[in-house]
Amino acid sequence: MTLAREAVLEGVGVHSGKPSRLRLIPSAAGRIVFRRADLGRESVLDPRKTEAKNASCFRDGDFEILTLEHLLAALYALGVGSLDVELNAAEVPIMDGSAAPFVRAVERAGLRPLGVIWVPIDIREEGRVEDGDASVVFEPNAGLKVSYEIEYAHPAVGRQAVSLEIDAATFAAEVAPARTYGFISDLERFRSLGLALGSSLENTIGLDDEKVVNPPLRFPDEFVRHKVLDLVGDLALLGRPVRGHFRARRAGHVLHQKVVRSLLNRV
């Protein structure tokens, strides 16, 4: 499907700190194409040209799009597989730190079916990627299911686990509103590396040594639900629906993208 009409969102890049205007333009091409209006260039999203740098990023030579995951998660969950995505900067706007603004934009624009059938990727046997005590296991399932577990030695987080069958309704209600989060103690280091320059308590759940500094949370387990959001967004890099159960533990974008490449090598 594509959108019935154009949608526009404006905000700031969470890492670049720069203003960003995003246009979601209906397309019948059957693929997602990113366009940089400021560069006058475009490129088809290719999972083999993505990387993880505190977010999921797409690079095609000197053409780059940063922080893809929240937008892609919303498009994937709502079934949008054909779209021109135009930006006037290098980074997708962070909005409120969740995928909910993108979900609302798609819902307002409406959906239009195309004469294109996206053949799902069916996981037929178990696979695993891991790095130390972090892992993602994937196995056969009738639809997309994500089970995620995180653990932080922080009184506001601790151990959290959630397991959800992902469809449009579940994603919109149970996953999309979950915001990104960060530790105040890490902020100076990140900014010295040119990261989190647009991060604020308006778009990030902030954690000091003891508590959430900008309550209330949207879910008691909002932290792990945001990790589910990130994984769905990274699976969207496949460019096709995937049917399988993904069980992630203490993972992140690096392992998510290793899963994507593992699956691409199987099809």
The Cβ of residue 213 has, within 10 Å, a number of other Cβ atoms equal to 12
Cβ atoms 70, 98 nearer than 8 A = yes
Least Cα distance to 249 among 146, 180, 97, 154 occurs for 146
Q: Are strands 19-26 and 32-36 parallel, antiparallel or unpaired?
A: unpaired
Half-sphere exposure of 227 (CA within 13 A, CB side): 27
Cβ atoms 237, 257 nearer than 8 A = yes
Q: Which residues contact 235 (CB under 8 A, 6 or more apart)?
A: 76, 144, 242, 246, 256, 259, 260
Active site residues: 253
Q: Which residues contact 58 (CB under 8 A, 6 or more apart)?
A: 34, 43, 45, 46, 49, 50, 64, 65, 68
Residue type (1 letter), 202? E
